[in-house]
Every structure is written in structure tokens, then in C-alpha cells.
Amino acid sequence: MSSNQKTSSTSRVGAHPVNSVRAMLPIAAGLFLGFISVGLPLPIVPLFVHQVLGFGDVIVGCSVGLQFLATVLTRSYAGRAADVHGGKSSMMRGAAVCACAGVLYVIAATLHASPAAALAVLLFGRVVAGIGESQLVTGSVTWMIATGGPTAAGKAMSLTGMAMYASLALSAPFGMMIYQHSGFEKATATIVLTSLCAYAIGYRTLAAFAYGGARVPMIQVLGKIWRSGIALLLQGVGFAVISAFSSLFFASRGWSHAALAMTFFGGAYAFMRLCFGHLPDRIGGYRIAIISLGIEGLGQGMLWGSTNEAVALAGALLSGMGCSLLFPALGVEILKHIPPQSRGTALGGFVAFQDIAYGITGPITGVLAVHFGYASVFLVGTIAAILGIGFVLFEKAKSQG
């Protein structure tokens, strides 16, 4: 254990909950800035690939989903690194890698005259961004749980989601605004700056206690969390289709506020975490998970059947509300069965299920969009949410049996 981790452990253990939350805020601020590397490209990468480079919907879906595939493949490593070396180290390393991804996006923009070369560099940048995201997020949530203590685990996970999706809500329209006025190069250059700011915040914030003891292997962790993980995977389909195809869906209907779909989604997500993030700890995670998936399914259904922009934006808002509390709700239940020294591994494995959804949904629904139109992808999101309720009920019965 490093000296700064030892110092942190004596200052954190037994801290009052309010002080614990206050101690977690700088970490959340760093995550907010680092996660701009995820949110800012979401509405503009599809437009750059489709409108500037001239590739079709399947390639668009791949360009969005590739980052999430890279993330899921490195979650296990990120979890082990956070458990062994501490969340601070993992978070800072992730922020630095995200900055490198921003540099690659800028290079891709300068190669637009050669579409194949630009796409290759862009896709490499998406892989690098995925590697950075896995460490940034897993490191941040592990760091916050260690800082706040086990009784504040739900708050830590809620604060993590608030930071991530508040970042999405603000960075998506901000990125679109820069893209429309100054192009892809200047929009993505912002990622380099914000990621380096996240690194600086991590550097200046005190590390938290790293638990000792034997760590549970990932295969055993997966045996404990797979049912909840599949529910999280199915929930992630809704976010994946909104992030990959909302801008193209709005453009196909002649609607002019595509970036607001991510703003409504992310804003609703952050609002629910802020106002209701305590509910999983208070009334039980499974109940909140079932309600959340029902709301998400309703929102996805509204997007699927929307005949005007207002209904579509309302569907995005409800989707964000529904997605918001599922991770902390099921995460609180998972951590009841995981020893403290393996929380990073468990959370990394749990989030990996969501990454799988993000990675495979884009390419699959891209094929559907080609044959059945962009609205069809939201029908997939509706069905996935309904199936997710079934897996939560299954897991609840299993845990109580």
C-alpha cells in the first residue's frame, strides 16, 4: 500500500456520511471532465463518418460501438488494477489514455480527404478511448467507494452515474455546436483539454484506502453477478440506440434538435441520481430496478412511435429516467455478496455487461436501420427493457431463495 493510501485510510475511516460525500466530490468532478471523451463524440462521430467520410449505417454503428467493445475487453484488467493499486491510479491512467484518444480524433479530422485513412485512425481512436474509459470509470467508482466506506456504496455509485451522465448531457450538445461551427477537428480537440484537466484533479486529490486480503477470481465473481449483469446489458440497449442513431433519426425526420436527445437523456439521468439516488439503499435495489426498466421501456416505445420531435424528446427523457438508477440498484445488491478487497473486480465485471450492450447494439441495429428505418432500433430498446424486468425478477427470487 502506498503512503498516500495509508494517509487516506486514517482520514476516511469512520467519517461522517456528509463528509464522505464531500470527499467524493473531487473524484466525481474528475470523472465528469474525463467522461467528456465519451459524451462529446457521440452525436458527431456518426455525422462525421456518414456525411463527411461517406460511409453507411453499418459502419456508423461500428464506429460508435467499437469504443464500448474495447471497454468491455479491458474492464477485468481495470478492476484488478483498481483493487491492487487503488482507484486513484486507475482513474488517472484512464484520463491520460482518453487524452490520447482525443489526439487521434484530431488526426482523423485532418485526413478527411482520404476517407479510408481517416476512418482507420478514427476507429483506432475509438479503441483507445474505450481502454481509457474502462480505467477512468472503474477507478473512479472504486476510489469513491473506498473514500465513502461500505455504508455509502449506493451514494458512491449514484454520484458516479451523476457525473457521467451530466457530462453526457452537457458535452453532447456542446460538441455538436463546435462541430457545426468549427468542424470535427476543433470539437474533438476539446477532449484532450478536458481529459488532462481530469488527470490534474486526480493528481491533486488524496488517494483512498486499498483493502488487503485474498481477491475473488473474476470467474467466481461472474457466477455471482451474471443475472444482474444481463439485466444491466438489456438496459444498456436503450442508451446505445439513442447514442448511435438519435442524430440520424432526427435528421431523417427533418427535425433540427438532434443533440437535445442526449441532453434530455443525460439531464434526466443526472436528475434521478441527484434526487432519488438514495432509494436503492433505503427501499431495496430490486424494486427500483423493476420500476426503472419499466420507465425505460416506455421511453423507448415513445421514440419508436414518435410522430413529432416533442414526443421523441420526451421518449429520450423517460429513457434517461429509466436508465438512471438501475446500476446503483443492482450494484448495491451485488456488493452485499462481494468482499471489500474485490469490489473493483466485481464492479468492473458488472459494468462490462453494459459495455457489451453498447458494443454489439450499434452494429446489429445498424443492419435493422438499413432495412426497416431508424425508428426500428427503438423497438429493440423497448423489447430489451421488458426482458430486463424478467431477469431482475429471476435474480430477486434466486437471492431470496
The one-digit pLDDT tens for each residue of the chain (401 residues) are 443 443 333 334 334 444 777 888 999 999 999 999 998 998 899 889 998 898 987 888 788 878 878 888 888 788 888 888 888 999 999 999 999 999 999 999 999 789 999 999 999 999 999 999 999 998 998 898 888 776 667 778 878 878 887 887 788 888 989 999 999 999 999 999 999 999 999 999 988 755 555 566 667 777 778 888 899 999 999 988 988 788 889 988 988 888 788 789 878 887 887 788 778 877 878 999 999 999 999 999 999 999 999 999 999 999 999 998 898 889 888 877 777 767 777 777 787 787 788 778 877 888 888 889 999 999 999 999 999 999 999 888 877 76
Residues in contact with 95: Cβ distance below 8 Å, sequence separation at least 6, in sequence order: 30, 33, 34, 132, 136, 195, 196, 198, 199, 202
Nearest Cα residue to 292 out of 333, 332, 322, 328: 322
Query: Could you tell me where the DSSP H helices lie in 153-183?
Result: 153-182
Query: Could you tell me where the DSSP H helices lie in 149-258?
Result: 153-182, 184-204, 218-253
Contact 313, 257 (CB under 8 A): yes
Q: State if pTM tops 0.75.
A: no
CA-to-CA distance for 311 and 313, rounded, in angstroms?
A: 5
3-state secondary structure of 39: helix
Contact 81, 90 (CB under 8 A): yes
Residues in contact with 362: Cβ distance below 8 Å, sequence separation at least 6, in sequence order: 60, 61, 62, 63, 64, 65, 68, 240, 244
Residue 38: C-alpha distances to residues 125, 178, 395 (Å): 11, 16, 31
| Per-residue confidence (pLDDT) for residue 17, from 0 to 100 | 46
Angle at 205 between CA 201 and CA 206, to 5 degrees: 165
All domains in the chain, ordered by first residue: 3-207+216-400 (1.20.1250.20)
Contact 180, 94 (CB under 8 A): no
Q: Return contacts of 270-276, CB within 8 angstroms, 24+ apart.
A: 270/161, 270/162, 270/165, 270/166, 270/169, 270/324, 271/321, 271/324, 272/320, 272/321, 272/324, 272/325, 273/158, 273/159, 273/161, 273/162, 273/165, 273/324, 273/325, 273/328, 274/162, 276/324, 276/325
Nearest Cα residue to 67 out of 363, 366, 359, 362: 359
CA-to-CA distance for 96 and 114, rounded, in angstroms?
A: 28
| Per-residue confidence (pLDDT) for residue 97, from 0 to 100 | 97
CA-to-CA distance for 306 and 300, rounded, in angstroms?
A: 10
Residues in contact with 35: Cβ distance below 8 Å, sequence separation at least 6, in sequence order: 133, 136, 137, 163, 164, 167, 168, 171
Q: Cell 488517472 identifies what position?
A: 92
Contact 33, 201 (CB under 8 A): yes
Nearest Cα residue to 126 out of 356, 359, 364, 378: 359
Handedness of CA 100, 101, 107, 109 (dihedral sign): negative
CA-to-CA distance for 300 and 295, rounded, in angstroms?
A: 9
Q: Cell 425526420 identifies what position?
A: 253
- For residue 53, the 8-state DSSP code is S
| Per-residue confidence (pLDDT) for residue 5, from 0 to 100 | 41
Nearest Cα residue to 111 out of 55, 66, 172, 53: 53
Length of the chain: 401
Residue 340: C-alpha distances to residues 109, 216, 249 (Å): 44, 10, 44
**CB neighbours of residue 100 within 10 Å:** 17
